[in-house]
Amino acid sequence: MECVLIGTGGMMPMPYRMLSSLAIRLNGQIYLFDAGEGTQINWKKVRLGVRGLKLIAVTHLHADHCLGIPGMVMLRAQMEDPAPLTILGPPGTGEFVAQFRRLLEFKVNFTINVIEWSSNSTGVAYRDDQAEILWEPLKHTRFAWDTGSRRRTGLANSIRRGRRPWECRGDRSGESSKKAKA
């Protein structure tokens, strides 16, 4: 398992520190957690390749965590015969994807499956033969309004390989990408 910090910045892109994005490569499959604006730029710099991109998991719909999704979809649409892509995220993710596809009018030559968290979502959010991703709601400034308490919540993703949970904690040193093997 390889962890690649594509971006560690927050709110504003800096020349040498892109916005939030973490790629986990496992046996040729890539799971992308958050895609801040310009994610595809550092993606190309670290030479991950887009064929293995299987899933984009968005923790919340702040711009610095999701505005890179259109660029990643456009980058992936340049390949021949790409496999389906799953986009996992909070309520509103499906609308976000539908709107950028409608407004930007670019050709997408693969299926995009969107899975949104809901108050009924517990446990496993996504599972394939390599890993599973779990829903873990948390408090943050944006995610969804809880209609009962008017409390704001967010979403944390954790990934498991087999039965073992795996974590990758980011270094905030300012380098645009780092790699770590587990």
Annotated catalytic sites, by residue?
64
Which two three-digit tokens encode residue 15? 């020349």
- For the chain, the domain total comes to 1
Average pLDDT score over residue span 106-124: 86
Q: 118: Cβ–Cβ under 8 A, 6 or more apart, which residues?
A: 91
Residue 171 has pLDDT above 80, yes or no: no
Which two three-digit tokens encode residue 138? 């948390």
Residue that wins the pLDDT comparison between 73 and 141: 73
Which two three-digit tokens encode residue 126? 């996504």
- List the domain range (segments joined by +) for residue 161: 2-181
Cα(153)–Cα(144) distance, rounded to whole angstroms? Answer: 6
Supply the mean pLDDT for the chain: 78
Which two three-digit tokens encode residue 158? 């954790």
This prediction has a pTM of 0.77
Residue 83 has pLDDT above 50, yes or no: yes
Residue 22 has pLDDT above 70, yes or no: yes
Nearest to 36 by CA among 50, 55, 22, 51: 22
> Residue 151 belongs to a domain with what CATH number?
3.60.15.10
